[in-house]
Chain A
């Protein structure tokens, strides 16, 4: 391990501890905002682990997330809460593996549409099942507070960053970057492209399901239209791209401003949130192709060149 790595790890740990101190403020609004930010940080970062290097845009986040909330919803009366998180991870991972094996041979827009369709289909299946059994939704009653949910999400964020850091330094991470650049070249240098992609897709699917399982108690009452809302998938993509997927911490710098803006807009103009989504997307396409990370890199590059010339 190099010295730079150690200092990065130390910085990461320190920031995580700092984030974990937020509930000490005792401010309910801040903590609730913290939960939202932590949730999207985990979702966007794990999304970027797969979609960042490979450029495969997945809109299946809502499917994994929803499945996770339903694991908690269905299991909370029968099993101890702590066993539900690993179960959600396994269920999300298996779903991701199945989807991955079926779709990762598809390229570009076909993959995007399929993942969007998958989320919708999962929602329809759950709705159908609930209608058949005469329920509309499920109650999730626990004594978990916002603080507990927040700490779980912060811990999960720490885990995701650790996984991302390890993958970035591994052969697998290098393989994914090559796949993202040119899949034909990847195959011809000897990379098992399908296996590499599925492996990372499983990680991001499992993480999204665990987030759903953790968040479920906050919803108290879950029904398919909230658990599988396609809006979630779009928000995750926009936040990750806004921050930039070129660095592990990129999505985080997209999540924070976006969530704050979203909160501000939805409290005063509740009907205009979709507009924010659209404008952010335009901003990414026209102004910030590499997200905030790309902007930062360009500024740094330019000032370095100016210094070299001076």
Chain B
């Protein structure tokens, strides 16, 4: 054992989904005691690759070697027993159970027939020590009383209990403050010293430079290159990630924007977003960037009336509005496309027609009756504009591809004829073609006078589409970048990370 120089080798690994080759003959190696960053844009194949490692797919092709030994990772238990430990972005926690039970759920120590509570406590403390929480957390505490940051560390400790050879971490810092990130990095360095190979998935450049030893960049399912972190800088990495893309969408010409349509003053939802003020012009696309957990989505939800607004005013077309409900805001002309297509956006079990018309049921009604016929021209219009495939509104939405589902979702909100359209991750999980079409549609609509607020973590998208980019950080709008001052992905990313030097306007 351990003869191989590599803890993990992947040789020409591929994974096919209906319609797309999500991972295309990717090969890379991870050395023991190395932090190996896996980078790429959304949809580059990072998460598929990670799921292959986790044993989520039984039908990947190619060869995976752990410690030089070929292994099959066809289900999660195989993956675990081969020494792959996963720390997911979405933690799966039993909230009303204790820390120790969550950590040792599968193999609680027993003495005779009963649980050995003392041994469990001891094991839990020992395990917590690996993530430096032994003094801070009583293992008997229920998980619901543990903060997000600590939950994540506990999840890590849980994974470390199995003594993994490879630890895969998916965007582990997305919900952490800068102090917490430093604490996490200290722990990662500690684990590294013990010879564990760490695959670190992220697109936060500064973090990669701080913690990673080598980096592999993926683009469109293919590996671009693996380099030592010393040999690359921000610029080269971004270039590798973005590349010369055929579908790269650049907004033609400088868009004219009109008068102010939306003015937001001191919008506040206590504990979520505080004192948000900004203006939006007719036909303008305002990008809002912020790391995960910065309050980006929460801002969208407040503006659209989906969440409570505690304080502040929204002035739309010179009319001051007290935000009360989503139906009210829809009526006034603010629509919000949710980032969670499957849980909040579309009722997947209904037909496309039902979904597209779901936000205008009352508008298509007379007296008491819903008149779906009145929606037919709207449907046709949207189907043509967005080329939704297959061209049959009666098909159940769950049978569509991700890209077409997203088009249906966009159609749903466009059918409300909004004045301001808030798009939260409008191209998450869609294929290149659909992405391009959605981008073109957004720009066309803006040229026709629609004002768009674009909340996105897809930097190229944000940079290509936006007239202005406002930056959110920890629930506040901290500044903005103007197009005339020139912005690129790098600058936007730095801004999102709180680098104040790059701002055109600082709030």
Q: Does A pair with B?
A: no
Instruction: Report B's interface with A, CB cutoff 8 A.
Output: none
Instruction: Report A's interface with B, CB cutoff 8 A.
Output: none
